[in-house]
Chains A and B, each alone.
Chain A
Amino acid sequence: MLTAGIDVGTRFIKVAITDGNIMMGSSCMELAANFRGILKTCFQEALADAANFSSTRVRKRHVKKIIATGYGAHLVKQAAYTIQESFCLARAARFLSRDTDTVIDSGGLFIKVVTVNGHGFPEESHVNEKCAAGSGRFLEMISAALNISINEVSYFASKSTNPYNIVNSCAVFAESDVISQVNAGTCGEDIIAGVINVITLKTITLLEGVDAGDTIVMAGGLAKIPAYIHALARYSKKDISLISIDPQMPAAFGAALIAQGKTMVSHQRNNGRGAKEIHD
């Protein structure tokens, strides 16, 4: 059976098409004012990707069930139902690596720390609710002000010898703060390294709020920045690994897995419990 998971994040929309346990196709697009159009294009792209993978034609009607998740899940009218992101993350992370204790999802605006139990269900979930200081958006704004592309952030941050200590971490003020720092002679590498530190510390604060365990996997767009993962591992003194699929996809993949209807750790026979928690 083909199922789809749609994860509407704060910055990107992600679609994963799954058959059984296999992710057949996926697609990720940046959100803009034309939400419906982007959702449609993104879905089409994922279908095309799936068709490529299976070398058969995959149509929209072949997809039997769609589950939406993420911040903007309520916007997806096609979805059978919506599920909280932490359920999807926990399911995908546990499915991809059996011994996962905690998932960190660092996305556009929210950093989410979810601990996973033995059945692939979330136990605790912490998120930065009040303020976007130290989020992906913060990094995005500063790197834009410095004229550094997001892909080069890690390279520049690693060159820094003396990271700039960012006092005012309000993401809105970041841009003008950076301009005045550049004018004052601070070099871009040091500012970027300072930003990575702010984001890392914010994540550590969230991580300290949960019983994180030993095996931590990283997901979300920020996981594509190696300097961030290294800093996180260094400060938390824990073993942090990258999730084994595209870091932006786990929530969408998890939603598609849940749409398959069976619990992935099926030998543990927790079907009844799973259904109850999902509908909650």
Chain B
Amino acid sequence: MLLAGCDIGSLTAKAVLLDLDTGKIISQGILPVRPTAVESSFAIMNTVLSRVGLSPDDIDCLCSTGYGRLEIPFADMHISEISCHGRGAHWLDMSIRTVVDIGGQDCKIISIDKTGFINDFIMNDKCAAGTGRSLEMLSATIGVPLGDLGRLSLKSRKPVPISNKCSIFMELEVLDAMYRKKKLKNIAHGLTDAVAKRVASLAKAVPVRESVCITGGVAKNMGVVRQLEKYMDIHFKILPVDSQLIGAIGAALFAGDTYTKKGVPSEAKC
């Protein structure tokens, strides 16, 4: 049985193809978003299907999630990304009880029960502080590619203090540090520290139980992960797949539930 999960986020589109009989991910893909959710969904599904030489008709059930989930024309169903992240993380590691998801435009802390369903969550999508977008903007300010920011910050022991919460004010402090000729690695450390602090303060609103995992694009930034572990006083469990794909995996699993229960005929067209 071939299931698909398609996660259209704010900055990237993710999709996985899951074979439920063997429990293996047979294809996966991540692309930057196109101007509309529809275009992004076609592009990402084409990519993952062509990678394994399958056609859209082979998919038994497709579930969409993420910001653009309601606009995808070929989806059989849609589920909120909060449920999907919980479900996906739980499927990959049964001991997970808390998922910290730091995406492009929001940041959520999701508390799940032992079956993988959601107990409680807190989300910030009003303000860019503590999101990938903020990191992206600030790394552009100091002229370091986003991918190198984490590695660079790990080299530093003395972060430049950044006290503001608003990302734009943070940019100001970063520029100020640049005018005073501070070392780039220390500024990078300060940045990752500020983002982590913001997420950690958000996490105080929900009970954080072990084990905890981190998902979303920012999970790839080791600098943020290190500081977040420090502030939340925990160790993140490492999940065996790309951290950006957890939502799409969760979506595929929900698609499997629906398909096996109700026998939804495949209407997936790509």
Contact = CB atoms under 8 A, between A and B. Distances in A.
Contact of A109 (B126, B168, B180): B168
A105 to B, nearest CB: 16
Interface in B169-185: 169, 172, 175-176, 178-180
Given A31-B175, A35-B179, A173 B166 contact: no
A93 interface: no
A33 B35 contact: no
Interface in A136-192: 137, 168, 170-173, 176, 179, 183
B166 A131 contact: yes
A132 interface: yes
B127 interface: yes
Contacts of A171: 128, 166-168
Contact of B176 (A72, A173, A176): A72
B36 interface: yes
Nearest to A31: B175
A6 B122 CA distance: 45
B134 interface: yes
Interface string A69-84: 0011001000000000
A170 B126 contact: yes
Contacts of A135: 168
A133 B169 CA distance: 10
Contact of B166 (A33, A72, A132): A132
B165 interface: yes
Contacts of A57: none
Contacts of B167: 132, 171-172
Given A75-B179, A176-B10, A179-B35, A170 B127 contact: yes
A130 interface: yes
B172 A183 contact: no
Interface string B119-139: 000000011100001100100
B165 A109 contact: no
Contacts of B165: 130-131
Given A168-B126, A170-B127, A172-B128, A130 B166 contact: yes
**Interface size class for chain A?**
20 to 34
B105 interface: yes
A130 B127 CA distance: 11
Nearest to B168: A132
Interface string A177-220: 00100010000000000000000000000000000000000000
B103 to A, nearest CB: 12
Contacts of A170: 126-128
Contacts of B169: 109, 131-132
A109 B172 contact: yes
Interface string A119-131: 0000000000011
Nearest to A8: B179
B111 to A, nearest CB: 25
Contacts of B35: 179, 183
Contacts of A172: 127-128, 133-134, 137, 167-168
A131 B105 CA distance: 16
A241 interface: no
8 contacts: A75-B180, A131-B165, A131-B166, A132-B167, A168-B126, A172-B137, A173-B105, A176-B105
Interface of A: 10, 31, 33, 35, 71-72, 75, 109, 130-133, 135, 137, 168, 170-173, 176, 179, 183
Instruction: Across the A-B interface, give the 9 residue pairs with the lowest CB-CB distance, nearest first.
Output: A172-B128, A132-B168, A35-B179, A131-B166, A172-B167, A170-B127, A132-B166, A171-B168, A170-B128
